[in-house]
């Protein structure tokens, strides 16, 4: 992956290595690093051939096309169903999850959690997942920084925050797929009005062929667990989005590749709203004036059943579904996920920001760092850009 040259506040040039947060980067052999000069175009053509390879056939069908214009890997043309089937295979070991029969009380006891679930009292609960795999360096720091933010700014207590890191394979909390699924159920257990839930995933993301027809581009988004197995966005939606009641808030931050619609909160086509279309939101990452009108009952369907949530769910994601997210190297020699670091730093600098202001702040951080990705914001409900953001 190419290195990006930036200038930190002290004016001295610094090398900013970028590390992709996708499954392919985790499994592929190392690629020789290249250093690009500081310029208004942070990704030279040489870097694009690695960083922004578009996995689509060329006109003659014999070679792949590349995104040489540095436009964040927006597809040059829609991928055919045949091409998707051949190049984005669905693993044979997709976990079957029955949300109606899952025994969440049993897994809470299994992991030894002692939550204060006083009846009729709103609760706070957070799940922070950091997976380095073999290529990432900043995921653990992202988790630590986010936990500190939740405690310092939003009043979370240690016992209200669950942390999963892939640092100890012998730990009961080692984030294999089953452990992550267990904790997703714990996060959304017995949701009620007034609950404040939070999830961070800092690790690898990817895409696979969509088999149930609810994805406009024919691809499902997935997160990758420590055992190499995946959890599909449909499953994430069913476990932590669908069951939430009115007045229950879930804030999600996905710092991984292919994260734009990681919770299936919005369809990738224009809505009927006079204010803003979903397509505008995804590809411009900006708000138009007024409210963002994303209805509770989604037009996307899974097996003929419309996706729906009564809860207030917001997903801050690192990049487009078909793009990479990156890590940066900050002063002091520490690696950070660009999305996680921008989110935390923006809030610490100003705890009173609207959704629109926070999104713009994150975008500006990416520009300063010359990070070639565009942050995304999707929601399960009507969201006004001028509303004050809170967890």
Of the candidates 373, 353, 197, the one whose C-alpha atom is nearest the C-alpha of residue 285 is 373
Of the candidates 369, 361, 350, the one whose C-alpha atom is nearest the C-alpha of residue 316 is 361
Catalytic-residue membership of 326:
no
Reported confidence tier of residue 55, pLDDT bands at 50, 70, 90:
very low
Active-site entry in 204, 237, 370, 381:
204
Q: Which two tokens stand for residue 61?
A: 């069908």
Residues contacting residue 327 through CB under 8 Å, at least 6 positions apart: 17, 18, 19, 21, 136, 137, 138, 335, 336, 337, 338
Reported confidence tier of residue 369, pLDDT bands at 50, 70, 90:
very high
Q: Residue 226's Cα: distance from chain center in Å?
A: 17
Catalytic-residue membership of 204:
yes
Asked whether the beta carbons of 222 and 137 are under 8 A apart, the reply is no
Active-site entry in 257, 319, 370, 381:
257
- b/e code 39-57 from CB counts within 10 Å (16+ = b): eeebbbeebbebbbebbbb
Q: How far apart are the first and last CA of the chain?
A: 34
Q: For residue range 257-302, list pLDDT tens digits in order.
A: 999 999 998 633 222 222 223 333 332 322 222 233 333 223 444 5
Q: For residue range 111-166, list pLDDT tens digits in order.
A: 999 998 888 889 999 999 999 999 999 999 999 999 999 999 999 999 999 999 99
Distance CA 164, CA 170 (A): 13
Q: Which segment of 9-23, 33-47, 353-367, 371-385 scores lowest on mean pLDDT?
A: 33-47
Provide the pLDDT for residue 216: 82
Reported confidence tier of residue 222, pLDDT bands at 50, 70, 90:
very high
Provide the pLDDT for residue 19: 61
């Amino acid at each position: 992956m190419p290195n990006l040259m930036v200038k930190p506040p002290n004016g001295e040039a610094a090398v900013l290595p970028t590390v992709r947060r996708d499954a392919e980067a985790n499994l592929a052999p190392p690629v020789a690093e290249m250093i690009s000069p500081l310029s208004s175009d942070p990704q030279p053509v040489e870097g694009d051939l690695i960083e922004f390879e578009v996995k689509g056939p060329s006109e003659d069908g014999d070679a792949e096309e590349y995104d040489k214009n540095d436009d964040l890997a927006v597809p040059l043309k829609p991928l055919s169903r045949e091409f998707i089937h051949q190049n984005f295979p669905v693993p044979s070991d997709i976990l079957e999850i029955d949300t109606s029969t899952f025994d969440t009380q049993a897994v809470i006891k299994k992991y030894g959690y002692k939550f204060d679930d006083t009846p009729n009292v709103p609760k706070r609960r957070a799940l922070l997942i950091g997976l380095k795999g073999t290529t990432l360096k900043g995921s653990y720091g992202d988790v630590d920084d986010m936990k500190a933010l939740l405690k310092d700014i939003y009043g979370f207590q240690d016992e209200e925050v669950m942390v999963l890191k892939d640092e100890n394979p012998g730990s009961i909390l080692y984030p294999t797929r089953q452990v992550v699924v267990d904790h997703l159920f714990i996060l959304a257990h017995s949701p009620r009005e007034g609950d404040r839930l939070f999830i961070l995933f800092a690790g690898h993301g990817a895409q696979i062929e969509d088999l149930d027809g609810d994805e406009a581009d024919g691809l499902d988004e997935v997160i990758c667990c420590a055992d190499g197995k995946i959890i599909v966005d449909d499953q994430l939606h069913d476990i932590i989005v669908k069951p939430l009641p009115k007045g229950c808030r879930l804030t999600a931050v996905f710092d991984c590749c292919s994260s734009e619609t990681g919770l299936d909160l919005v369809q990738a086509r224009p809505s009927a709203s006079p204010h803003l279309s979903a397509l505008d939101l995804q590809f411009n990452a900006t708000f138009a004036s007024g409210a963002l009108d994303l209805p509770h009952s989604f037009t996307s369907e899974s097996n003929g059943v419309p996706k729906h949530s009564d809860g207030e769910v917001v997903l801050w994601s690192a990049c487009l579904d078909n793009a990479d997210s990156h890590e940066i190297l900050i002063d002091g020699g520490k690696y950070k996920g660009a999305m996680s670091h921008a989110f935390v730093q923006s809030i610490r600098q100003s705890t009173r920001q609207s959704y629109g202001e926070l999104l713009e702040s994150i975008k500006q951080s990416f520009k300063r760092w010359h990070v070639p990705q565009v942050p995304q914001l999707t929601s399960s409900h009507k969201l006004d850009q001028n509303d004050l953001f809170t967890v």
